[in-house]
Amino acid sequence: MKTSFQVDNQFLSAALKNELAQNAESQTPENNWLTKIRSYSYADFLKQNLPTRKVEHWKYNELFFLTQAEFSSSPLASRTQSEISDLTLALKNAFTVVFINGQYSPQHSSDLIDSHVSATPFSQANTKQIELITSSLSSAQQSTNLLIQLNTSLSQDGLLIEVESNKKIGKPIYLFHLNTSADENQICANQTLVSCGTGSECQLIEHFVSEKCEATQLALQQSVVHLQENSQCNHYRLNLEASTSMQVSRALFLLEKDSSLNSFYYSEGSQLNKTDIDIHHRGKNSESNLTGIYLPSETQCIDYHTNIEHQIANCTSREVFRGIIADSAKATFNGKIHIFKDAQKSDAQLSNKNLLLTNQAEINTKPELEIYADDVVCAHGATVAKIDDKAIYYMQTRGINETRAKKILSIGFINELLDKVENEALSHYLKDQVQICLSDIK
């Protein structure tokens, strides 16, 4: 069935409305709880209209493409293990979880038996797991990004990944998302929930890749990571889709008492990558470090909206994003820190720096502080600049041509953030990727 979007205050075509209703009715009695979540999101979604530039969250994004195309639901395409392996990162002894067109593919994924890590589809969850999923998804409800609500409605299932309490997982948990090529426009949806048990420690890597094709691929995705008391998670999210791909996604982190999150983002390549990042400090002494790099080129568009909520006292957050925008590309960064009234002794810092390589490149940056407590330490700032001509001239006097000088200065601009990647294999991969991405600088 085709999915099309209307502009006359009807976000979904009648055909898609019927499809969503039929999907909800097709759930078995055992999965009635999942039907309720999807139906609630579906009903709330239908109350909304197609967002325009007058909506703050979509101020710098064009949704014109939605009304100019029809999308078919992406099937679980067949791929051999070798075809999957050719695209995945060279990570040593990683627990690999594979998604193809948004759907969990157990035959391509690692066996997690006796590994202190488990992967359970929502539809196979037991009573205790259902309570965990329901609680986390209820916390994930939001109204700012309608396409994430659509993702919840379209997702036939989801995947729960649990890290056992008081265990330090030595191997990375590697979530590999592949969107396959097709002859017609496709839409896929994915929901992933990661629960880090009390006192646990893990490394989580999300890697998004798409095959090149003539048609347009629209991926809707949401990850919810719940850090229980005294747990630690090192999280990496890489968006490396093809130029015909579009992804609208959300990453939500729920931080309980004494938990610690280190989260790193890298994005380049796709036609549109719009990522919402929400971090909720819900327990005292929780700590978050958020780092991101975006490198759009040609006519690509990358949009990051971050929202860090200090809901309780004595929490710390650090946020640093840097972007290099080339050609006629466009980037948006909207970073918000929200300090609640009772969140005394909060310490929050936010920084966004951008480098424009051409006169046609565009960046829209908006750091925000919303503070309701009076005993806090907070700061935010943003800069936009071009490469210093004097620095280029200095390097030319030392025998370095202009093109290479620009590349060296650009890499130096983000190299500090790349050094924060603790996984050695991932660090080498990203540094090579940056070299390739910036190789066309003129």
On the question of pLDDT at 90 being above 70, the answer is yes
Read off the pLDDT of each residue in 415-437 and give the average, rounded to a whole number: 93
Tokens of 376: 């806090």
CA dihedral angle for residue 136, residue 308, residue 240, residue 301, rounded to 10 degrees: 120
Residue that wins the pLDDT comparison between 139 and 124: 124
SS3 string, the chain, reads CEEECCCCCCCCCHHHHHHHHHHHHCCCHHHHHHHHHHHHHHHHHHCCCCCCCCCHHHCCCCCHHHHHCEEEECCCCCCCHHHHHCCCCCCCCCEEEEEECCEECHHHCCCCCCCCEEEEEHHHCCHHHHHHHHHHHHHCCCCCCHHHHHHHHHCCCCEEEEECCCCECCCCEEEEEEECCCCCCEEEEEEEEEEECCCCEEEEEEEEEECCCCCCEEEEEEEEEEECCCCEEEEEEEEECCCCEEEEEEEEEEECCCCEEEEEEEECCCCEEEEEEEEEECCCCCEEEEEEEECCCCCCEEEEEEEEEECCCCCEEEEEEEEEECCCCEEEEEEEEEECCCCCCCEEEEEEEEEECCCCCEEEEEEEEEECCCCCEEEEEEEEEECCHHHHHHHHCCCCCHHHHHHHHHHHHHHHHHCCCCCHHHHHHHHHHHHHHCCCCC
- C-alpha distance from residue 107 to each of 8, 103, 122, 204, 205 (Å): 43, 12, 17, 20, 20
Q: What is the pLDDT of residue 333?
A: 97
Q: What is the pLDDT of residue 9?
A: 41
Q: What is the pLDDT of residue 352?
A: 97
Tokens of 332: 């948006």
Mean pLDDT is lowest, of 55-64, 190-199, 254-263, 316-325, for: 55-64
Tokens of 77: 């395409």
Read off the pLDDT of each residue in 308-330 and give the average, rounded to a whole number: 96
On the question of pLDDT at 259 being above 70, the answer is yes
Q: What is the pLDDT of residue 39?
A: 76
Contact, 343 vs 311, CB < 8 A? Answer: yes
Read off the pLDDT of each residue in 364-386 and give the average, rounded to a whole number: 95
Q: What is the pLDDT of residue 148?
A: 86
Residue 12 — very low, low, confident or very high, per pLDDT cuts 50/70/90? low
Residue that wins the pLDDT comparison between 146 and 425: 425
pLDDT digits 0-9 by tens, 25-83: 555 555 677 877 777 777 777 777 777 777 888 888 767 667 666 777 777 778 888 88
Read off the pLDDT of each residue in 176-203 and give the average, rounded to a whole number: 92
Contact, 342 vs 375, CB < 8 A? Answer: no
Residue 21 — very low, low, confident or very high, per pLDDT cuts 50/70/90? low
Read off the pLDDT of each residue in 352-380 and give the average, rounded to a whole number: 95
Q: What is the mean pLDDT of the chain?
A: 88
Read off the pLDDT of each residue in 403-431 and give the average, rounded to a whole number: 93
Tell me the C-alpha distance between 101 and 156, whole Å: 12
Read off the pLDDT of each residue in 365-377 and give the average, rounded to a whole number: 95
Contact, 187 vs 153, CB < 8 A? Answer: no
On the question of pLDDT at 246 being above 70, the answer is yes
Read off the pLDDT of each residue in 193-209 and give the average, rounded to a whole number: 97
- φ/ψ of residue 278, rounded to 5: -120, 125
| DSSP β-bridge partners for residue 227 | 196, 255
Contact, 333 vs 380, CB < 8 A? Answer: no
- φ/ψ of residue 122, rounded to 5: -55, -40
pTM here is: 0.94
Q: What is the pLDDT of residue 30?
A: 58
Contact, 96 vs 87, CB < 8 A? Answer: no
Tell me how many degrees the CA angle 354-223-247 measures, rounded to the nearest 5: 55
Read off the pLDDT of each residue in 102-129 and give the average, rounded to a whole number: 89
